[in-house]
Amino acid sequence: MAVEIPTDREVFTTTVKVRFYELDPYDHVNHTNYFSYFETARIEYLGEMGWGLDMLKEQGWQLVVVEITARFLVAARLGDELTIHTWVADVGRVKSTWKQVIYRGDQEVAHATVTAAFTDLAGRPRRVPEEFTHLP
């Protein structure tokens, strides 16, 4: 069930710290927040590649999430520092597939597969940028 982090391609790593308002009445992180953690990591990765939000909007790009499958293994708690590993697994003409896994120390907390499409600002499909196809 554990997700293997690939060694043959670029993997972007960042961290998030759990905040109090992300907890629910069961005293753990409400599962909906993991989708925000995953997104935060993808956006940071894009920024590091040179596709910051301002540049994307100026040049008329958005990266729209089409499908997500996420699996939750253990519950994160207040103050946990989580590490998120993100990589691009596959790139097509418009769509790209991202893999992400969240750890707390050496324990896997959750993982996700995200399909995202490049579109223009009106949401019409737009061909994946050339630089992007070299990633996986």
CB contact at 8 A, 117 and 125: yes
Which tokens sit at 122?
Answer: 């009106």
Q: Does 35 bind a second copy (CB under 8 A)?
A: yes
CA atoms within 13 A on the CB side of 73: 14
Helix (H) or strand (E) holding 53: helix 53-58
Among positions 26, 50, 58, 130, the unique one binding a second copy when judged by CB under 8 A:
26
**Interactions with a second copy, residue window 71-100 (CB under 8 A):** 71-72, 75, 78-79
55 sits near a second copy (criterion: CB under 8 A): no
Q: In whole angstroms, how close is the CB of 87 to a second copy at the nearest point? A: 19
Report the distance separating Cα 15 and Cα 39, nearest Å. Answer: 12
Among 53, 55, 81, 129, binds a second copy (CB under 8 A): 53
Stretch that binds a second copy, among 4-12, 22-30, 80-88, 101-109 (CB under 8 A): 22-30
